[in-house]
Structure 1
Amino acid sequence: MDSTPAEEILHDFPSHVRVYKDGRVVRFKGTDTVPPSTNPDTGVQSKDVIIDPETGLSARLYIPNNPLHNKLPILVYFHGGGFCTETAFTLTYHNYLNSLVAEASVVVVSVDYRRAPEHPLPIAYDDSWAAVKWVASHSSAGGGEVWLKEYADFDRVFFAGDSAGGNIAHNMGIRVGSCELDGVKFVGMVLIHPFFGGKSPIGSEGSNSEMIIGKEVADKLWLFVYPSSSGSDDPLFNPVVDPKFSSLVCDKVLVCVAEKDFFKDRGWYYKEELGKSGWGGVVETMEAAGEGHVFHLFNPTCDNAMAMLKRVACFLNEDNA
């Protein structure tokens, strides 16, 4: 039996999203939102804030148990999900950031940017930049969020994200280099399995069948979430071709990769090219043996996930030499 026009599929990414001809969007993950809370095990507190009522841009804030009177590093976090699934309020990210805040004793602002395909890129970038500027506004009398005023150290600001969120974190770092943020010191970035690409295959992308398929899907997904993009060598997707690549103003970058992730070679390539670009900071890489893409979200108590959690926590608290 032939399907009706309403049932015809226009775009299909089985691990993420499906779009029908009648405009329906079905997401296959990242729909299980949970409210903010005080975690009974760690004491980490969270609450939700509206950043821009006109667009609906919002965020979930986290502070550790008993933050005392010491000012804490600020981590602006961008969730993953291929720019089209997940939110800052899903159980996966709520649990992960609870654990990270407890381990690292930092203030986290988890950004809930608008998602494709209803809001194609560059909207997520613009939302994320608006959130970064909102955070920075609290370094003076401009911002009104008590947790940021009371607990945040604006001389220790970090960006982080996984997958698409890692892509966003990098691009926010590039924007800081072009548009300085008054009153804050942007110290570093943590890019976890970042969603980067490029027209020409690198490493095992040109020889390993799984990596070849992974690259094809990633390239297709990129054009789905950003239809007006120039393609796989768009600097927003392939950062090493960006003339502004070396303009990062942070001191250090940690790139986390996983052995079985089809973005692994892109993470290593980013690390190597950033080190050769003339940028004056320190870039490090941590690879998880035997693991796949964003494994730490699905298996947060495994040895590799716990090791990565501790490494990220140390990175956020190291002296900013």
Structure 2
Amino acid sequence: MEKDPDTIVEHDIFPFIRIYKSGRLERLLGTSVVPAGTDPVTGVISKDVQINPTTGVSARLYVPPHIPSHAKLPILVYFHGGGFVIETAASPTYHNYLNSLVSNARILVVSVEYRRAPEHPLPAAYDDCWEVLAWTASGSCPDEWVSVYADLGRVYLGGDSAGGNVTHHMAVKAASQGIKTKVSYYVTHGLEGAAPLVQSLKIQ
């Protein structure tokens, strides 16, 4: 009896993904998600915004609580890690980290939900991240949080792992397109660089 191709492993990239002969893809890590909303610990508010309905590209936006009506906040466009194949902007790791960062630094964060490989090979992720960066920094962003609170003179880029790679590519392209950004950091989630980052975002 011939085996079901849906159960025959063709590529086992442990511990990240497993691809079956039928083409079915199984992600082994980074599949948990948490909803946007008000964080009960920090009071930080987040929401999900669709950027491109055709590609499905979206972003999770974060703002601190109790923003004065006249305030203009630094913006951090954040690119999550995961080797371009796992994790999302809604992963607990990134959601909790950015809640903490926004609370301490008093910034606006745009966390990019880009398309992942292998379903969408590179440069799909780069294209998506660029689209969100341009959407954020255009000066005519339709989102109310960005249009009201964002200080477009203080746009930072940051990410970890694959997101660090994206940060580099976005910084280079932004410079060539005349979008002024600052590369904040390349980090892992040990948060070793969190304190200096918080201070730099507050004072610049």
Give the structure 1 partner of residue 27 of structure 2.
27
Q: Is the 8 A contact 2:167 2:183 kept in 1?
A: no
- SS of the counterpart of 1:109? strand
Q: Secondary structure at the match of 1:103?
A: helix
Structure 2 alignment gaps of length 5 or more: none
Higher helix share: 1
CA contact (8 A) 1:103 1:309 kept: no
1:30-54 Cα shifts (integer Å, max 9, x gaps): 2111111111221100001000011
Structure-1-length-normalised TM-score: 0.60
Identity of aligned residues (%): 50
Aligned amino acid, residue 58 of structure 1: S
**Counterpart secondary structure, 2:193:** helix
Give the Cα separation in 2 of the matches to 1:315 and 1:28: 36
Contact kept, 8 Å, 2:74 with 2:152, in 1: the verdict is: yes
Aligned to 2:201: 316
In structure 2, how many angstroms separate the alpha carbons of the residues matched to 1:2 and 1:163? 41
Where 1:33 maps in the other structure, the secondary structure is coil
SS of 2:151 mapped into structure 1: strand
Is 1:134 matched up with 2:135?
A: yes
The one-letter code sitting in structure 1 at the alignment partner of 2:78 is: Y
Q: Could you state the TM-score of these two structures normalised by the residue count of structure 2?
A: 0.93
Supply the distance in 2 between the matched residues of 1:312 and 1:113 (Cα, whole angstroms).
24
Residue in 1 that maps onto 2:67: 67
Determine whether 1:123 maps to 2:97: no
| Structure 1, unpaired ranges of 5+ | 193-293, 297-304
Who wins on radius of gyration, i.e. which is larger? Answer: 1
Instruction: Give yes or no for contact 1:87–1:112 (8 Å, CA) kept in 2.
Output: yes
Name 1:241's counterpart in structure 2: none
Q: Which residue of 1 aligns with 2:48?
A: 48
2: CA distance, partners of 1:152 / 1:189: 17
Q: Secondary structure at the match of 1:7?
A: coil
Q: Residues of 2 paired with 1:54 and 1:25: CA distance?
A: 22
Helix, strand or coil at the partner of 2:6: helix
Does structure 2 conserve the Cα–Cα contact (< 8 Å) formed by 1:79 and 1:111?
A: yes
Query: One-letter code of the match for 2:48?
Result: D
The question of whether the paired residues in 2 share the 8 Å contact of 1:73 and 1:106 is answered with yes
Letter of the 2:144 counterpart: V
Per-residue displacement from partner, 1:113-145 (whole Å, max 9, x unpaired)?
0000101111000000000111012x2xx3210
Q: Does 1:105 align with 2:100?
A: no
Give the match for residue 10 of structure 2: 10
Q: Give the aligned residue type for 1:36.
A: A
* Contact 2:184–2:197 (8 Å) recurs in 1: no
Which amino acid letter does the alignment assign opposite residue 9 of structure 2?
I
Q: How many angstroms does 1:177 deviate by?
A: 2.0
Instruction: Quote the Cα distance in structure 1 between the aligned partners of 2:189 and 2:160.
Output: 11
The answer to whether the Cα contact below 8 Å between 1:75 and 1:109 also exists between their aligned partners in 2 is yes
From 153, 156, 159, the counterpart of 2:157:
159
Would you say 1:85 and 2:86 are equivalent positions? Answer: yes
Q: Which amino acid aligns with 2:21?
A: K
Q: Which moved more, 1:86-95 or 1:310-319?
A: 310-319
Q: Deviations over 1:67-110 (max 9, x none)?
A: 21221100000000110111101111110100110111110000
2: CA distance, partners of 1:104 / 1:95: 14
Q: Which residue of 2 aligns with 1:189?
A: 184
Letter in 2 for 1:51: I
Alpha-carbon separation, structure 1, partners of 2:137 and 2:7: 46
Superposition RMSD on alpha carbons, in Å? 1.7
8 A Cα contact 2:160 2:186, kept in partner: yes
Structure 1 runs (4+) deviating above 3 angstroms are 1-6
**1: distance between equivalents of 2:173 and 2:42?**
34
Q: Distance in 1 between matches of 2:42 and 2:5?
A: 51
Distance 1:90 1:313 in 2: 22
Residue 32 of structure 2: SS of its match in structure 1?
coil
Structure number with greater CO (CA < 8 Å, separation at least 6) is 2
- Aligned 1:230-241 pairs, distance under 5 A: none
Quote the Cα distance in structure 1 between the aligned partners of 2:50 and 2:108: 17
